[in-house]
Homo-oligomer: A and B are copies of this chain.
Amino acid sequence: MNDVLGTKREGPGAEKPGRVTIRTVAADAGVSVSAVSKVLRNAYGVSDSLKARVTASIEKLGYRPNASARGMRGRSYTLGVLLSDIRNPFFSEIMAGINTALTDTPYQPLLGVSNSAIGVEQALIDAMIDRQMDGLVFIAPRMDPVAIDAVARKIPSVVIGLHRPTEELFDTVNNDDVTGAEQVVDYLVSQGHSAIAHMSLDLPPDERQAVPFQREKGYLQAMNRHGLARHIRVVYAEHSPKARQKARELLSAPDRPDAVFCWTDACAFESISAAIELGLRVPDDVAIVGYDNSPPCDLAQNSLTSVDQSGRQLGAETARMLMERIEGRTRAEHFVVEPRLVVRGSTRNA
């Protein structure tokens, strides 16, 4: 009922059975807790002999620092990754790049999935800040850019898929979407197409920095440059199920385009599906192009011509930049990779 002898810690060296903490290590190595902490953090003022002793004890006891305790004092060594759509196979390439770049660093990436729901996205960010994450990666966020500013003011952030070349609050990582889209149109024109339609994402009109808008911009520029202004036709659709319906409408219209440039692979797969359902041959009746060059492009049933933007590289750069920011860099960096068109059967007969 009352304090039985032994209920409370008995002297500085004692501890609960089974639980290995920094004091267990200190006791085992015969040094102070602070000394162990120094070794853990590679801090200044540690002799080789002390370091060796402590390291041996850590190894022997299988000690692992408690991340919550660390989080209370500063670093949690955890990076939050905000994934707007787990279904997008391109994003998994990015993740692979991030994971690889973080191997052998003390940082651990943990993902939150928002499914493009803005409310969820904000809640997820709050949850990550509550959890003392050291930094945040946004992958193709849907939320209000102003809200991102607010977050970046609180915590080091890198955003993938948002064009803000003069942003100072956070770093950005992108491919050159305008150029990529132009490449697509240039190529289709070179193949003899002229009635080239574009399928984009249904976005609020103020999101000029968003990826779909940039791709649309490249499409429009190139169409105009080729003197195809009268063939310009942009269709807006939401995500997958709706995209197929829109594609069906587009492809069954009397003035059907002879090529469709879809803003993302997923949309292109839906378009191929719609074409097949309508009895159209790809590419003979209609050529189809996607964006991201995600793994399914390579399947023969898709054989989708697409724009490659090297997700792994983007991911790796992102991880590097975020770590730099956490270590203290304050000037923003904006990384842009050049996209590259990969031609496959959806635009050309084998």
Q: Which A residues lie at the B interface, using CB under 8 A?
A: 64-72, 76, 78, 80, 86-87, 89, 92, 95-96, 99, 108-113, 115, 120, 124, 126-127, 129-132, 240, 269-270, 272-274, 276-277, 295-296, 298-302
Bound form: Cα–Cα A86–B111 in Å: 11
Q: Which of B89, B115, B120, B300 contacts A276 (CB 8 A)?
A: B300
| Most B-side CB within 10 Å, residue of A72, A272, A300, A302 | A300
| Most B-side CB within 10 Å, residue of A80, A115, A127 | A127
Q: Which of B64, B71, B120 contacts A68 (CB 8 A)?
A: B71
8 sampled A-B residue pairs with Cβ under 8 A:
A66-B130, A76-B131, A86-B92, A87-B92, A108-B127, A111-B111, A273-B300, A273-B301
| Most B-side CB within 10 Å, residue of A126, A129, A130 | A130
Bound form: Cα–Cα A199–B323 in Å: 43
Q: Are B301 and A269 in contact (CB under 8 A)?
A: yes
Q: Which of B109, B115, B300 contacts A277 (CB 8 A)?
A: B300
Q: Are B68 and A131 in contact (CB under 8 A)?
A: yes
A301 — nearest CB in chain B belongs to which residue?
Answer: B301
Q: Which of B87, B95, B115, B126 contacts A295 (CB 8 A)?
A: B87
Assess A78 versus B131: contact at CB under 8 Å? Given A92-B86, A112-B111: yes
Whole-angstrom distance from the CB of A307 to the nearest CB of chain B? 20
Whole-angstrom distance from the CB of A260 to the nearest CB of chain B? 15
Give 8 nearest A-B pairs by CB, closest first: A68-B71, A111-B111, A276-B300, A273-B300, A301-B301, A110-B110, A273-B299, A67-B131
Whole-angstrom distance from the CB of A274 to the nearest CB of chain B? 8
Residues of B within 8 A of A298 (CB): 273
Q: Are B299 and A270 in contact (CB under 8 A)?
A: yes
Assess A110 versus B111: contact at CB under 8 Å? Given A78-B131, A89-B87, A295-B240: yes
A277 — nearest CB in chain B belongs to which residue?
Answer: B300
Bound form: Cα–Cα A92–B108 in Å: 21
Whole-angstrom distance from the CB of A143 to the nearest CB of chain B? 17
Residues of B within 8 A of A89 (CB): 87
Residues of B within 8 A of A277 (CB): 300
Bound form: Cα–Cα A68–B73 in Å: 9
A278 — nearest CB in chain B belongs to which residue?
Answer: B300
Bound form: Cα–Cα A99–B119 in Å: 13
Known A-B contacts: A92-B113, A269-B299. Give 16 more (CB < 8 A).
A66-B72, A67-B71, A67-B132, A68-B68, A68-B70, A68-B76, A69-B72, A72-B72, A86-B92, A99-B113, A108-B112, A109-B112, A111-B112, A269-B296, A272-B300, A273-B299
Bound form: Cα–Cα A130–B65 in Å: 7
Q: Are B95 and A113 in contact (CB under 8 A)?
A: yes
A70 — nearest CB in chain B belongs to which residue?
Answer: B68
Residues of B within 8 A of A302 (CB): 301
Q: Are B295 and A276 in contact (CB under 8 A)?
A: no
Bound form: Cα–Cα A70–B298 in Å: 47
